[in-house]
Structures are given as C-alpha cells and as structure tokens.
Amino acid sequence: MYKNLIFLLLFFSAKAFAQEDTSSVPVTKSNVVVNKDPRIELLIRKQAEINEETTRDSRRNIPGYRIQVINSSDRGVVFAAKTKIYQQFPELKPYLMYQAPNYKLKVGNFRTQEEAEQYSKQLSALFPAGVYVIRDTIEVKPDPMTPAAPNP
C-alpha cells in the first residue's frame, strides 16, 4: 500500500514540475521604447574625461632605445657606475633595475638607435666592460605646443 502511495506522489509531483515545450508557440515582435535620462549623456562625457586624464601618463611611454651600462651582482659597483653617470652625463637619466641576482644600469631615453649609438661610444670609454644599446620602453616628455585632444 505504501509503495503504491509513494509511486503516485512521485508521478504527480514529476508531472507538476514538468516544463512546457514552447518551441511551437509563435513569438510576436513588438517595439520597445527607451526613455533615456539626459543626465546619462553628461555622465558618459565625464567618464571619458576621467579616462583621458588617467591614461595620459601611460601614453608618455613609447618604444625606443636605452644604453645598458653595467650588469653585475655587486650592488656597490652598480651604484658607483650610477654616480659616474650623474657626474659625467647629467643629461642622461639612469634607470637601476634588479633582476635576481643581478643589478642592471640603463641610461637614456633615445627615440632612434643612431642617437643611442653616439652616447654609447662616449660611455664605452668610461665603462670598458661592455656597453650595449638595447630596445626598451622609454619615457617621452609631452610637447607643450601640442594641443590636447578635443572632448566630444
């Protein structure tokens, strides 16, 4: 008796939770009207200005060349080389990088390889162990004469 009762309950509950096949039901198309708040356009413009301002610094970096002056695991030697660069070539900006276990000292922000080669010859006299021109991402100063992009 209990088996028949359980079987009937399961049968009716399965029937109650069954999904209906809607693939044969025709779908009617209707038009949707969207009422847009005019303040949304102001928010979009404001977000565009914020994006422009926050990404400005990343656009100051471009592909170019730097000169690798020294690559050593001795921190003192690398810092001494950095001091020499500051004294002899104050116009070159040194970049000190640590990649375990070595310190790398790179200098300059050169747009062309020829420009980097000119300084490379001068630096080779100070650092005979090896000075190399390498491709790197360089910093550029924005031109103050170039106007900012107009806002839409």
In a domain, 30, yes or no: no
C-beta separation of 89 from 54 below 8 A: no
DSSP reduced 3-state for 87: helix
In a domain, 112, yes or no: yes
In a domain, 131, yes or no: yes
CATH of the domain at 133: 3.30.70.1070
Host domain of residue 78: 61-139
* Number of independent structural domains in the chain: 1
Q: What is the pLDDT of residues 64-85, one digit of tens each?
A: 999 999 999 999 999 999 999 9
In a domain, 107, yes or no: yes
Label residue 104 exposed, middle or buried (CB < 10 Å: 0-12, 13-18, 19+).
Answer: middle
In a domain, 2, yes or no: no
In a domain, 10, yes or no: no
pLDDT value of residue 147: 46
Whole-model pTM?
Answer: 0.56
Q: What is the pLDDT of residues 41-62, one digit of tens each?
A: 898 999 998 888 877 766 678 8
In a domain, 53, yes or no: no
Higher pLDDT among residues 117 and 36, named by residue: 117
In a domain, 74, yes or no: yes
